[in-house]
Amino acid sequence: MHMFTLVIAALAALPVMAAQNDFKAIFGRHWQTSKEFTLAVAEAMPAEDYDFKPNPEQMSFGQLMIHIADENSVSFARAAGTKPLVKPAATDKPTAIKFLTDSFDKCAKELDAMAPEQLDNVAWKFQGRPVLAWEAMWWAFTMTAHHRGQVEVYLRLKNIKPPAYRF
């Protein structure tokens, strides 16, 4: 009877383990698409316009590209228990493209290296509420989409058609 109970318990755990493994695979696929899409948006802006701001209160296009990469690196580092990349001081196009590429790649490697049970570890606290590792990664994904949409408006203000949406 004891062996039967163990088998039932193991079978009951399979959907949870499959869901966690599916999360990594599905999220990883969308992370790669986000990387490609974000880099296409970054490439669309001419180098001489990386300092463009619609108004003085906003970050420049280049600052936003660096911000996306930095926030991703920090968020995934918290989730994985690693160190974030060093944020560059410059915001020119070559620096931004390299930092975005390095950050997206580092984040993908950290996701791949995480054991499924790590996804439920507390990465940090936000307003007193624990943020789990998978939530930290989801936050980075959402924040990237938010700022990518913002800089697409910058492109339109420069009469540049943004790259087509990708999913």
Task: Work out the pLDDT band at 14, boundaries 50, 70, 90.
Answer: very low
pLDDT exceeds 80 at position 15: no
Nearest to 82 by CA among 56, 108, 58, 60: 108
Output phi, psi for 134, to 5 deg. Answer: -65, -30
Query: Which of 10-19, 47-56, 62-71, 104-113 is predicted least confidently?
Result: 10-19
pLDDT exceeds 70 at position 34: yes
Task: Work out the pLDDT band at 109, boundaries 50, 70, 90.
Answer: very high
pTM: 0.86
pLDDT exceeds 90 at position 5: no
130 forms bridges with which residues in the sheet? 125
Task: Work out the pLDDT band at 146, boundaries 50, 70, 90.
Answer: very high
SS3 90: coil
Tokens of 25: 């695979």
As a whole number, mean pLDDT of residues 96-106 equals: 98
Tokens of 164: 């087509």
